[in-house]
Amino acid sequence: MKAFTDSWVDRFSTIYAEAPLAELSWFTAAPGPELVKLVIDGVIRRGDCVVDLGSGPGVDAVFLAAQGMKVTGVDLSAAALERARAWAALAGVEVDFVHGDVLDVPLLDGLADVVTDSFVFHNMRDEARAAYAGQVHRLLRPGGLFVLNSFSDHMVAGTGPRRVTSAEILATFDSGRFDCVDLRLYRNLPTADKPDQIHWIGQFRARR
C-alpha cells in the first residue's frame, strides 16, 4: 500500500529535484516552532534518539542534531535526502538520513525516545493511517513520545493536502497504542499562499 494519496505520491517523487526549496509551499527554512518549544522546555532532551519520519530537506532533523539529539531522518525521496545531507554537512552535524517508506521503516523496534512527523500524516490516505500508527509505535521505546505537526481543518482552504480533524488524529493515535498528552491548534509561520496556518501539534506517549 502507498502511504500518501496519489496526487502527493506523484508530487513528492519529483518536486525536490525540480524546484528550489523556497518555492515549496510548506518550506519556511525554520524548524517547527512547537518543536523548538519542546526542546526549550526539556521535553525532547540532549542525547535522545529521535526518528524524523518524512524528513524532507531535513530542517527539523538538523535542528535537533544541533541541539544534541541523535537523529535519524527517513524519507522516500532521494532528492530530499540529498538536500538534507547537504544541509547537515553545512551545519556540521551528524544525522543519519535513511531512504525508506514510513509504512515499512528500515529501523529497529523500540530504538526511538522520540518520533517526529512534520506534515506527513495529513498527506496520507485513510487506509494507511493504522499501519502508519503501527510503525510509529514499533519504533518507539515504551513510554516514548510521538510529536505530530499537521495541517488542520481550522486553516485556510485552498491548495495543498487534506485538512485533518482532531477526531481523525485521535482515532489514529489514541486508540490503544498511545496516550494523548496534548493536542491543540497553534499558529505557524505564514507562507505566501497560506497566510493563516492554523496547524495541530500533538504529543502521544507509546503504551507498552
Is position 12 an interface residue for ligand SAM (rule: CB under 6 A)? yes
Q: Would you say 101 or 142 has its CB closer to ligand SAM?
A: 101
Q: Are 90 and 83 in contact (CB under 8 A)?
A: no
- Provide the grid cell at 8: 502527493
Q: Would you say 60 or 168 has its CB closer to ligand SAM?
A: 60
Rounded least distance, CB 130 to ligand SAM, Å? 15
Of 36-95, binders to ligand SAM (CB under 6 A) are 54-56, 59-60, 74-77, 80
Q: How far apart are CA 32 and CA 194, in angstroms?
A: 16
Pairing type for strands 178-187 and 198-206 reads antiparallel
The distance in angstroms from the start CA to the end CA of the chain is: 27
> At 32, phi and psi to the nearest 5?
-55, 130
> At 42, phi and psi to the nearest 5?
75, 15
Is position 147 an interface residue for ligand SAM (rule: CB under 6 A)? no
Rounded least distance, CB 166 to ligand SAM, Å? 20
Of 157-196, binders to ligand SAM (CB under 6 A) are none
Is position 101 an interface residue for ligand SAM (rule: CB under 6 A)? yes
Q: Would you say 117 or 168 has its CB closer to ligand SAM?
A: 117
Rounded least distance, CB 83 to ligand SAM, Å? 9
Secondary structure element (H or E) that encloses residue 5, with its range = none
Three-state SS at 93:
coil
Q: Would you say 101 or 153 has its CB closer to ligand SAM?
A: 101
Q: How far apart are CA 41 and CA 46, in angstroms?
A: 12
CB atoms within 10 A of CB 175: 10
Rounded least distance, CB 59 to ligand SAM, Å? 6
Interface contacts to ligand SAM, rule CB under 6 A: 3-4, 12, 26, 54-56, 59-60, 74-77, 80, 101-102, 118-120
